[in-house]
Structure 1
């Protein structure tokens, strides 16, 4: 699969991500030994971004000439360990052409589910859809859903798959009752969406979500409870739920 990954071959790259999540990796240790407190992965910088190098088999390890220790882990374990620190993965850097880099955003997709998180690179913009009734329904529902602080919107075109409308949810409270109330609000509003238009949600407090990052930086709320002078009830959560989930 590594040999099939070339610029523009997003289908091959998606297949590679699936194989990484299901397979094993030989992680190169710069310090320490496997399982010891001082064990430390190697690291490298490419175009200003940090990556951790690895190889894909014992044979590739021998070919690489790596003389220090190594650790064999599953791709799923490595993805979960690296993406929170915004470290990517660089596969077979010794190979002709320099190997293949997997950015941390895609490691997060491996961890969270390739079928649940959109395939990058994403093209994100302001929606140009004329669906005022849907936005009015959302605004009306948000006014009667106390957990909602504000709502934003974006049009997202993944590298693979259909484009969709993303609704950014900024919540005061992530408790079970509040989350269920927000889901009910979305279900009621989505009934007014034109047939065939995919709608998903993203929680604004998710610091690892590319759509949420764009919304925080580039989109003004079309509903903002705080701007209306309503008091806050709780701190925003540090994580998201159910994204992207079609209601």
Structure 2
């Protein structure tokens, strides 16, 4: 399990990551022992910084889309008018977990072609479940006294949702987003098998050329991103939990 990093270690990890993706040649001596037959020690088939930013972009787009759909579904099934759709909603958000991402990519490529689009579809489907379940938990475990007070001051259903329910559920929803992002950061690497620009390019290039240095570089960047983003979202959860007086059960 990824642990919450002390602030000093956080800053060091972030500084090393930035230094590596912007000036990877500085680290060549560290990776040279992992190469064979005078192979390059640093990935030289593209920009590590460019691939890192594109990797983050793909994950961000998929996560925003998954968050919007998952939270909307959770809101729908927690209203009286949509309660009967809960089993169907659970079946829909479980699709991404039922089919492996590789299978989703294989099915998506004939429909949308190679590149980023099939990767976005796979990440979107894969990210729905944790966000939906956490949003559902957040909206269904609110203190009854708070909801009664909101009704007592004359708030409408939409006012209660916007001003009371969603703000109080934010820490729990953030926990679901955190899990979804970490899963997507790792899963996005397979997008390079269908020509998406991700850090998977570095890993695949290393596997094809039997260059362990490339494989390690791609893996380390993804791992560092996962730890730092997990850490940042955990901090946001704690801030939101303190402000609402509600601790996230998934945090």
TM > 0.5 fold call: no
TM-score (norm 1): 0.26
The structure with the greater share of residues assigned to strand is 1
The structure with the greater share of residues assigned to helix is 2
Q: Which has the higher contact order (CA 8 A, sep 6+)?
A: 2
